[in-house]
């Protein structure tokens, strides 16, 4: 299963270096030929291509947040902090059709004893009217719906469940339905019940739905001893809105820098809500422009999205809004999926404006951000590469 993708990944890793070279040499000479591998300095190899190192993190108790995951040593941006085969994974229909209890019970019975015990020890928010298995599931599951993942449904991993929340996360969660064999080989097989799934399949059973792998990449450098935190919620909410949701769904109130703002004593974070408000406004403007663009395309009966119908001014305004959004996201420290998606939109609107050089530039930004947040061999980077190839052909 993994071999073809691994081969592709190693090809892409060379391409990564080539694009990085292109990026840094934009104002100088641009070479179309790939550099000799030997001439590439080791630092240009994306950290996420290095084998996954399980000793990077450790689980510790905290006074306010229960158990949490902590960096055992300094972790560089782009490193896989945690890779885990989920214990349970359900697609959207299974979650919705009321059979989840039965599926969970069936999957649970098939787990090795150690994994069953680990599952029962996970945090339980004691959700009213839910069985214990289901309440634990919904207290810890990661959503696989867009924009975080395109697979739909949700999943739970034993170690991933110990990651606490911050509105200013230092890791980005992603899910890969297929992962290279080197990654599976470096996973601890009994840490996640990887030999069994909710539907009784194994990840090596190619005829059944594979469990895939949950991944957490560092989106910034993390100092030794610092807590690993992911964002459970949308970034496009003000502190009060985020806290309402956290209280409703998880029973806690976040005290991250963005939430405490002024109380942090840091000028930068006292403006967090202002920045998030501006981010929400940008998002609304872009979403509205996208809706108008789509309906115009439908009216004109254009089968192609990139018809020359919008006008440079309209596209220019959307591009300026998206540039502002990218800047705000950077200032808020949100350098994961939100930033990658913003660069993707910048490339799309630049293409609509007929500016292929800008489209390529933003695509390369999306690629660099995606390598850090999702890994160089990820489906997301593969998709960006396809779009870059298409741009090259224009």
Ligand X SMILES: C[S@@+](CC[C@H](N)C(=O)[O-])C[C@H]1O[C@@H](n2cnc3c(N)ncnc32)[C@H](O)[C@@H]1O
Compute the least distance from the CB of residue 65 to ligand X, in Å: 4
Compute the least distance from the CB of residue 10 to ligand X, in Å: 35
Taking CB under 6 A as the criterion, the residue among 7, 14, 25, 66 binding ligand X is 66
Task: Find the helix or strand (DSSP H, E) in which 316 lies.
Answer: helix 312-331
User: Rounded to whole angstroms, how far apart are CA atoms 154 and 343?
Assistant: 26
- Which CB, 140 or 194, lies closer to ligand X? 140
User: Rounded to whole angstroms, how far apart are CA atoms 286 and 319?
Assistant: 9
Query: Which one of 46-54, 63-71, 91-99, 342-350 is the stretch in contact with ligand X (CB under 6 A)?
Result: 63-71
- Which CB, 16 or 118, lies closer to ligand X? 118
Binding flag, residue 159, ligand X (CB under 6 A): no
Binding flag, residue 365, ligand X (CB under 6 A): no
Binding flag, residue 214, ligand X (CB under 6 A): no
Taking CB under 6 A as the criterion, the residue among 123, 127, 296, 361 binding ligand X is 123
Cβ contact 68:226 at 8 Å? no
Binding flag, residue 86, ligand X (CB under 6 A): no
Q: Return the closest-CA partner of residue 122 out of 167, 163, 175.
A: 163
Binding flag, residue 230, ligand X (CB under 6 A): no
Binding flag, residue 82, ligand X (CB under 6 A): no
Q: Return the closest-CA partner of residue 282 out of 219, 351, 235, 246.
A: 235
Burial of 357 (0-12, 13-18, 19+ CB in 10 A): exposed
Compute the least distance from the CB of residue 215 to ligand X, in Å: 17
Binding flag, residue 371, ligand X (CB under 6 A): no
Cβ contact 69:163 at 8 Å? yes
Cβ contact 236:144 at 8 Å? no
- The full 3-state SS of 261-287, as one line of letters, equals HHHHCCHHHHCHHHHHHHHHHHHHHHH
Query: Which one of 49-57, 60-68, 78-86, 180-188 is the stretch in contact with ligand X (CB under 6 A)?
Result: 60-68
Binding flag, residue 161, ligand X (CB under 6 A): yes
Residues within the interface to ligand X (CB under 6 A): 64-68, 122-123, 125, 139-140, 161-162, 164-166, 250-252, 254
């Amino acid at each position: 299963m993994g071999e073809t993708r691994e081969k592709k990944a190693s090809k892409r890793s060379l391409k990564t270096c080539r694009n990085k070279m292109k990026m840094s040499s934009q104002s100088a000479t641009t070479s179309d030929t790939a550099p000799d591998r030997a001439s590439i300095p080791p630092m240009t190899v994306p950290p996420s291509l290095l084998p996954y190192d399980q000793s990077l993190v450790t689980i510790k108790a905290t006074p306010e947040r229960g158990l949490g995951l902590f960096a055992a040593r300094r972790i560089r941006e782009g490193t896989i902090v945690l890779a885990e085969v989920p214990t349970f994974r359900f697609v959207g229909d299974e979650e919705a059709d009321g059979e989840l209890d039965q599926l969970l019970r069936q999957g649970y019975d098939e787990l090795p004893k150690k994994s069953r015990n680990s599952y029962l020890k996970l945090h339980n928010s004691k959700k009213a009217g839910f069985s214990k298995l289901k309440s634990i599931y919904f207290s810890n599951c990661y959503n696989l719906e867009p924009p975080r993942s395109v697979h739909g449904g949700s999943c739970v991993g034993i170690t991933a469940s110990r990651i606490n929340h911050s509105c200013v996360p230092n890791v980005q969660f992603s899910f890969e339905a297929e992962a290279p064999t080197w990654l599976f080989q470096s996973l601890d097989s009994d840490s996640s019940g990887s030999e069994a799934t909710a539907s009784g399949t194994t990840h090596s059973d190619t005829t059944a739905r594979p469990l895939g792998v949950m991944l957490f990449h560092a989106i910034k450098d993390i100092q030794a001893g610092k807590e690993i935190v992911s964002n459970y919620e949308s970034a496009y909410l003000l502190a009060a809105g985020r806290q309402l949701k956290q209280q409703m769904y998880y029973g806690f109130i976040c005290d991250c820098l963005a939430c405490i703002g002024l109380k942090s004593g840091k000028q930068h974070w006292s403006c967090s809500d202002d920045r998030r408000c501006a981010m929400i406004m940008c998002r609304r403007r872009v979403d509205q422009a996208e809706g108008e663009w789509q309906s115009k395309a439908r009216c004109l009966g254009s089968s192609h999205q990139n018809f020359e119908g919008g006008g440079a001014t309209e596209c220019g305004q959307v591009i300026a809004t998206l540039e502002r959004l990218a800047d705000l996201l950077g200032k808020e420290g949100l350098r994961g999926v939100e930033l990658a998606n913003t660069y993707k939109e910048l490339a799309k609107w630049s293409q609509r404006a007929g500016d292929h050089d800008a489209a390529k530039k933003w695509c390369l930004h999306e690629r660099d951000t995606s390598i850090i947040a999702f890994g160089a061999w990820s489906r997301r980077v593969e998709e960006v590469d396809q779009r870059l190839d298409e741009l090259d052909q224009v």
